[in-house]
Amino acid sequence: MLEPAAVRLDAVATGRDDAIRQCGEALLAVGAIDSSYVDSMIQRERSISTYVGEGVAIPHGTLDGKESVRRDALSFVRFPDGVDWDGNLVQVCIGIAAKGDGHIGILSSLARILMDPAQAKTLRETNDAEAVIELLAPVGEDEDE
Amino acid sequence: MTSIESKDIHKIVVACDAGMGSSVMLASTLRKELKKLGIEVTHTPVNQIPGDADIVICHVGLAQRAAVSAPSKILIPFQVFLGDPAVTKLVATIKSGGTVHA
């Protein structure tokens, strides 16, 4: 779902749309989408922000954009200097391409991480792609707290 | 419908545009919180809200579309994906067995 080739830890963006394009390019690089999906990600962001808190946004396409998804995949792009995201400062973008439910485990992990400020900080600051993948490793939804 | 008793809530649907991102995260968080109460929590695109949903949760920006797509459902709009006061209140009400108002 989240492959090392789709993890970029040292990106720079001129703004929100540029950051989204880079998330899309990482998805394109691993063959998860057709390039038209990237425009659908930007369109989606214009209707409702995908900022989820703790300096993290999760850009993804629209319902129509699903047709441009080849397989479920995620990308992780970090902008150490931050990107202005409609007034919020975003340092981590997790791009989502999904036609099935393959990404749900990782998003569940992300929700858990974001509710723990210390883990969220690690996600924003670690320089190790493997550590990012490990941190976001899917947790079973049936797992008891 | 403008209100529902907690005991009558069996299914909550988190709706978003594509059912791909934010709704998935919110649904996963709610599922964990409400699992012990036997309430099913799913996520769907806003134009595919299932008929057996008792409560629909969606971003304020989608509330109008949700109201058109599922007119008879109790709709809880939220602004923030994690820790929104409306969602926190909903969970607290359900856990205490109270009445949920639209």
How distant is the Cα of B5 from the closest Cα of chain A, in angstroms? 26
Q: Is the ipTM of this complex over 0.90?
A: no
Residue B29, domain extent:
9-101
Tokens 């080739």: give the residue.
A5
Provide mean pLDDT across the span B88-102. 94
Facing residues of A33 across strands? Answer: A69
| Interface residue of B14, B16, B23, B25 to substitute, partner A, most A CBs within 10 Å | B25
For residue B24, the domain's CATH number is 3.40.50.2300
Provide mean pLDDT across the span A55-69. 92
Which of B26, B47, B61 is nearest residue A48 as measured by Cβ atoms?
Answer: B61
Domain membership of residue B3 (yes or no) is no
The pLDDT score that the predictor gives to residue B1 is 67
Tokens 């691993």: give the residue.
A30
The pLDDT score that the predictor gives to residue A113 is 92
Task: State the DSSP string of B59-91.
Answer: EGGGHHHHHHHSTTSEEEEES-SSS-HHHHHHH
Which of B22, B28, B61 is nearest residue A58 as measured by Cβ atoms?
Answer: B22
| Cβ-defined contact of B21 to A66 (cutoff 8 Å) | no
- CB contacts < 8 A, A to B, total 67
User: What is the set of domains in chain A, with CATH numbers?
Assistant: 2-135 (3.40.930.10)
First to last CA, chain A: 24
B82 at interface of A, judged by CB pairs closer than 8 A: yes
How does residue A34 score in pLDDT terms, banded at 50, 70 and 90? very high
Domain membership of residue B38 (yes or no) is yes
A103 is annotated as an active-site residue? no
- The per-residue b/e assignment along A94-110, b for 16 or more CB within 10 angstroms, e otherwise, is bbbbbbeeebbbbbbbb
Give the residue from chain A lying closest to B28, CA to CA. Answer: A108
Pairing relationship of beta strands B3-5 and B99-101 according to DSSP bridges:
antiparallel
Give the residue from chain A lying closest to B32, CA to CA. Answer: A141
Distance CA B25, CA B68 (A): 24
Q: What sign does the dihedral A107-A55-A77-A58 (CA atoms) show?
A: positive
The pLDDT score that the predictor gives to residue B16 is 84
Give the residue from chain A lying closest to B46, CA to CA. Answer: A63
pLDDT tens per residue, range B11-42: 999 998 776 777 888 898 899 899 889 999 99
Give A68's DSSP letter. G
Domain membership of residue B31 (yes or no) is yes
Contacts of B17 (CB under 8 A, 6+ apart): A44, A47, A48, A62, A63, B45, B46, B62
| Cβ-defined contact of A141 to B82 (cutoff 8 Å) | no
